[in-house]
């Protein structure tokens, strides 16, 4: 299985953002979290990606505990957060090569990803020149570059 959540609760002070959430997502499944603003969707995603800890419960991604095996968890996840963190002054290809270098991925793989996500006409533009849609594609390309087992899009 890819993701297993057992009785996850998250408190922010006295406010309970998540209350004993449990579910399993198996390899190959595509799942969406639906709910109104403030329902806890992004909070749960931040727990699954190791950016914040749950107050109670356990979350496993690819068998790794997100609290105790955070680095291994993050290596197996491709994550595109709600607010896409891009370096706006970098060129598209430069930014993706920068991300690839972190994961020891070749420039050839960057070129393949640029084609895969439809960024070829934008590859030599600065990110700040791109539309919101193309910026999202850059973020998606960065999330997919290291061929993660789990892809999380917020």
- Residue 118 tokens read as 């439809």
* Count of structural domains within the chain: 2
Last residue of a domain, one of 49, 75, 101: 75
pLDDT in tens, 40-78: 999 999 999 999 999 999 999 999 999 999 899 989 999
- Could you tell me if 11 and 64 lie in one domain? yes
Q: Is residue 85 part of a domain?
A: no
pLDDT of residue 114 exceeding 90, the answer is yes
- Could you tell me if 22 and 54 lie in one domain? yes
Cβ-count burial of 121 within 10 angstroms (0-12 exposed, 13-18 middle, 19+ buried)?
Answer: exposed
In the prediction, which pLDDT does 90 show? 96
- Domain holding 112, by residue range, is 92-148
In the prediction, which pLDDT does 20 show? 96
- Could you tell me if 62 and 113 lie in one domain? no
What does pTM read for this prediction?
0.87
pLDDT of residue 105 exceeding 80, the answer is yes
- Could you tell me if 10 and 70 lie in one domain? yes
- Could you tell me if 97 and 129 lie in one domain? yes
pLDDT in tens, 9-31: 999 999 999 999 999 999 999 99
Spatial distance between the Cα atoms of 94 and 92, rounded to a whole number of angstroms: 5
- Could you tell me if 68 and 7 lie in one domain? yes
- Could you tell me if 46 and 109 lie in one domain? no
Q: Is residue 86 part of a domain?
A: no
Q: Is residue 63 part of a domain?
A: yes
- Could you tell me if 102 and 135 lie in one domain? yes
* Backbone dihedral region for residue 113 (phi beyond 0: left; psi -120 to 50: alpha; all else: beta): alpha
- Please work out, in degrees rounded to the nearest 5, the angle formed at the alpha carbon of residue 136 by the alpha carbons of 131 and 141: 125
- Could you tell me if 35 and 10 lie in one domain? yes
Query: What CATH number should be reported for the domain holding residue 42?
Result: 3.40.50.300
Spatial distance between the Cα atoms of 147 and 133, rounded to a whole number of angstroms: 22
Phi, psi torsion values for 138, nearest 5 degrees? -60, -45
Cβ-count burial of 14 within 10 angstroms (0-12 exposed, 13-18 middle, 19+ buried)?
Answer: exposed
Q: What is the mean pLDDT of residues 117-127?
A: 97
- Residue 148 tokens read as 């993660």
Q: Is residue 80 part of a domain?
A: no
């Amino acid at each position: 299985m890819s993701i297993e959540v057992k009785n996850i609760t998250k408190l922010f002070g006295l406010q309970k953002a998540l209350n004993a959430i449990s579910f399993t997502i198996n390899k190959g499944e595509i799942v969406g979290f639906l709910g109104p603003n403030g329902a806890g969707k992004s909070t749960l995603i931040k727990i699954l990606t190791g950016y914040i800890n749950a107050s109670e419960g356990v979350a496993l991604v690819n068998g790794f505990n997100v609290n105790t095996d955070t680095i291994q968890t993050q290596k197996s996840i491709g994550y595109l957060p709600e607010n896409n963190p891009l370096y706006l002054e970098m060129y598209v290809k430069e930014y993706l090569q920068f991300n690839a270098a972190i994961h020891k991925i070749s420039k050839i793989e960057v070129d393949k990803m640029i084609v895969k996500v439809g960024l070829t006409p934008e590859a030599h533009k600065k990110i700040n020149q791109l539309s919101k849609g193309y910026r999202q594609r850059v973020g998606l390309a960065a999330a997919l570059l290291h061929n993660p087992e789990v892809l999380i899009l917020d």
